[in-house]
Structure 1
Amino acid sequence: MTAHAVRLETAGASVTVVSSERTVTDWSARYFGPWWKAAEVPSESVCAGAVVTAAVDTSQYDDVAFAVTQAPHTSTEYARAQLLLARDVSAGTVRAVSPKQALAYRSEPGAGRLDVFGCHTEDVATATARLAREMMRGQLLRDGWAVLHASAVVDDDGRTVLTLGNKGAGKTTTALALAASGGYGLLANDRVFVRPNDRGGVDVLPWPSAAALGLGLLRALGWIAEVRERLAAGESLHPTQDGRVTEAIREGDCTPIWEGGKELKAQVFPDQFPEWFGVPLATEGEAAALVFPRIDREAVPAVEERERSLSDRDFMSGATEDRYPDVFGLLGMDGGGAVGARREVARLLAELPHHSVVLGHDLAENAHFLSGLTKGCA
């Protein structure tokens, strides 16, 4: 059976995804390609380095699932699903099964290898991409990078505007207002890798992920008609999107949908930003300014006098990365990076221009205001 392989590379880190199912490797290439260099390579050349192999194979899934349940095991939550874990310390392996998703895993952290087995192609493809990203994260963190909870856009000279704040503060709105207005590429929607460089600055890399966009934001950006047309033509958004959001878009209804105090949002693939909306993606940059937004529906965009500076809560850590705990031993350290690395990044970023702003619901006004504010320093 022919095997397909895609190698992901960024900042000296690399992971190869191998599968007999082209759909699986194509998924990783699509998901990471725009932000991390993703290239198809001959499968026979994959003999070293970190590797994730994936198989849509019911019998292999059954074998691993049986081995896990017959061995002493624990239960945890991973990717919002129950995961049963069996560790063999002497062999240096971790086996796991997610019964609801019909996914099984075998990890050899010391060898840099992880195998994914499942019964459904799409589930295997998404799990494989997720774990390839975790392998890349581990390499980057061990090489001195940290994870900052921020959105980011980059101008043509690589100067990066970082947007920070608590959930709902307007990080995504700010980044997309700048990117959609022209002159900036979107580097990240929710978090970035950051590391001090030898020039006394802070380098920034993307954290590839789907972007969660509220229906109101899609309408304000003027993108709702494009999404409707794409869906009508048979294209689709990310499969994690709630079906109620898809139906609302099809009907042209941009009324926000809430469940349990949480807004259900459209889930946009990275490559859909340039292909659907004409928003380019950036692959790297150097921090030049920090923006701390606040959204007020009736506000005219303006600078505020409130003091806001970078703090520990703006960085991700193992505790805050609770959706993907390091159960497979892929990181080997805190999930947000070493404390020393975070502190050095914070020190350097504190020297950059800081802008506390209030934004309204008029995206064109926001974009004009933000472009004028940041172009002078970024």
Structure 2
Amino acid sequence: MTICATRLEAAAAAVTVVSADQAVTDWSARYFGPWWNAVDVPSESICASPLVHGVVSPEQYAEAALTVTQSPHTSTTYAKAQTLVARDTAEGVIRAVSPQEGLAYRSEPGSARLTVYGCATEPVATATARLAREVMRGVLLRSGWSVLHASAVVQDGRVVLTFGRKGAGKTTTALALANQDGWELLANDRVFVRPGESGGVDVLPWPSAAAVGLGLLDALHWFDIARERLRSGEALHPTQDQRVTDALLVGCREPLWESGRELKAQVFPDQFGRWFGLRLATGGGAAALLFPRVEAEAVPATAGGGRSLGEHDFMSGETEDRYPDLFEVARVDGGGTAESRQEVMRRLALLPHHSVVLGHDIAANAGFLTKLTGSA
């Protein structure tokens, strides 16, 4: 049997995704891309660990699921799905099954090997990529990195970090800058950070799909590009609401809302480059902090009421309840050690802080932000 393998690398950490189904490894390659230096490797050069194996086989899924249900098990929620979990402490194995998703899991924390079983390619590919990211996160966290809730862009190795609660304008800020010459997108929603040897803060990307509202797509001049790509048969991330897809196809540019929540396009990481021409950065050093708010008719400007970085800006176990460390791949707090977070906060406090108000004019926002952060 031919085994396909994609190796992911970030800093000194590495994880290999393997599968007999190339679509599974291709999914990880496009999801992590240049952010985590995703490259195909020959099967004979596969490292022993860490390893995430995606298996598309109804028979093996059924066998793995039966092993869980016939063993003493507990029930929990993982990735929004009911998941049954059986732990064999003597064997050092954690087994689980999510019947609704048609996925089963086998984790061997001691050897850093994790297998995902399923009946269909796309669910297996999605779960395999998600768990490969969780394995990588564990390796990085145990190496002294922490996770910040921030978007990030890079210019000449200088990272501008943008903070704020959901809807504050992190994505608007990041994409307005990343869409300009000389800038690269490092992350849409969160980043890895670590005290650097030179006294600064090193920053790495956290690969993820990006939620972009229809209005922002239009303001960036990306709406028509996305529409034509969809019409030609390509697709955005499968978590996207069908109503967003329908709106794009018929050319409806007005924001879509449901119960106070905006429904947004879900952009694959690789689509930033292939569709919209953005460059993705692999890292850099923190240079400035932005704290935006967006007001529709505002002229971009600095604002009063500035704030500084706080513990709440870091991800933690409490903020990672959708993907708890069920398979013991991280084995540390989801946001990193307290010591690392405190030192990162101390160093970031020394950098320029800018509270800003932005409008809906992306070109004006980009010009203002470029000038503001250009000397940071």
* Bin for the TM-score computed over the shorter chain: over 0.9
Q: Secondary structure at the match of 1:343?
A: helix
Could you tell me which amino acid in structure 1 is paired with residue 327 of structure 2?
F
Which deviates the most, 200-209 or 273-282?
273-282
Match of 1:336 in 2: 335
Which runs of no fewer than 5 residues in structure 1 stay unpaired? none
Matching of residue 357 in structure 1 with residue 356 in structure 2:
yes
Q: Secondary structure at the match of 2:24?
A: helix
Could you tell me which amino acid in structure 2 is paired with residue 24 of structure 1?
V
Q: Secondary structure at the match of 1:308?
A: coil
Match of 1:68 in 2: 68
Q: CA deviation at 1:44?
A: 2.6
How many angstroms apart in 2 are the aligned matches of 1:224 and 1:29?
A: 25
Could you tell me which amino acid in structure 1 is paired with residue 134 of structure 2?
E
How many angstroms apart in 1 are the aligned matches of 2:245 and 2:326?
A: 33
How many angstroms apart in 2 are the aligned matches of 1:42 and 1:24?
A: 15
* 1:148/1:193 contact within 8 Å kept: yes
Q: CA deviation at 1:13?
A: 0.6
* 2:16/2:47 contact within 8 Å kept: no
Q: CA deviation at 1:365?
A: 0.9
Could you tell me which amino acid in structure 2 is paired with residue 119 of structure 1?
C
* Residue deviations 1:149-184 (CA, integer Å, cap 9, x gap): 0000000x2000000011110000001011112221
* 1:34/1:270 contact within 8 Å kept: no
Identical pairs, percent: 67
How many angstroms apart in 1 are the aligned matches of 2:212 and 2:13?
A: 29
Match of 2:373 in 1: 374
Match of 1:161 in 2: 160
> What TM-score, normalized to structure 1?
0.98
Match of 2:286 in 1: 287
Structure 1 segment 1-378 matched on structure 2, within 5 A: 1-155=1-155, 157-377=156-376
Could you tell me which amino acid in structure 2 is paired with residue 209 of structure 1?
S
Q: CA deviation at 1:47?
A: 4.5
Could you tell me which amino acid in structure 1 is paired with residue 223 of structure 2?
I
Which runs of no fewer than 5 residues in structure 2 stay unpaired? none
Could you tell me which amino acid in structure 2 is paired with residue 106 of structure 1?
R
Q: CA deviation at 1:30?
A: 1.1
How many angstroms apart in 2 are the aligned matches of 1:124 and 1:188?
A: 25
Which deviates the most, 202-211 or 252-261?
252-261
* 2:306/2:354 contact within 8 Å kept: no
Could you tell me which amino acid in structure 2 is paired with residue 72 of structure 1?
P
RMSD between aligned residues: 0.9
Could you tell me which amino acid in structure 2 is paired with residue 41 of structure 1?
V
How many angstroms apart in 1 are the aligned matches of 2:300 and 2:223?
A: 24
Q: CA deviation at 1:327?
A: 0.3
* 1:187/1:283 contact within 8 Å kept: yes
> What TM-score, normalized to structure 2?
0.98
How many angstroms apart in 1 are the aligned matches of 2:308 and 2:182?
A: 26
Q: CA deviation at 1:46?
A: 2.1
How many angstroms apart in 2 are the aligned matches of 1:191 and 1:47?
A: 28
Could you tell me which amino acid in structure 2 is paired with residue 359 of structure 1?
L
Q: Secondary structure at the match of 2:8?
A: strand
Q: CA deviation at 1:34?
A: 2.0
Could you tell me which amino acid in structure 1 is paired with residue 311 of structure 2?
D
How many angstroms apart in 2 are the aligned matches of 1:299 and 1:33?
A: 36
Q: Secondary structure at the match of 2:342?
A: helix
Q: CA deviation at 1:80?
A: 1.5
How many angstroms apart in 2 are the aligned matches of 1:201 and 1:82?
A: 43
How many angstroms apart in 2 are the aligned matches of 1:81 and 1:256?
A: 29
Q: CA deviation at 1:322?
A: 1.2
Q: CA deviation at 1:185?
A: 0.1
Q: 1:47 to 1:283 in 2, by over 3 A?
A: closer
How many angstroms apart in 2 are the aligned matches of 1:38 and 1:227?
A: 24
Q: CA deviation at 1:255?
A: 2.0
Could you tell me which amino acid in structure 1 is paired with residue 8 of structure 2?
L
* 2:194/2:201 contact within 8 Å kept: yes
Q: CA deviation at 1:250?
A: 0.4
How many angstroms apart in 2 are the aligned matches of 1:119 and 1:261?
A: 36
How many angstroms apart in 1 are the aligned matches of 2:71 and 2:80?
A: 23
* 1:210/1:270 contact within 8 Å kept: yes
Q: CA deviation at 1:371?
A: 0.7
Which deviates the most, 41-50 or 180-189?
41-50
How many angstroms apart in 2 are the aligned matches of 1:314 and 1:178?
A: 22
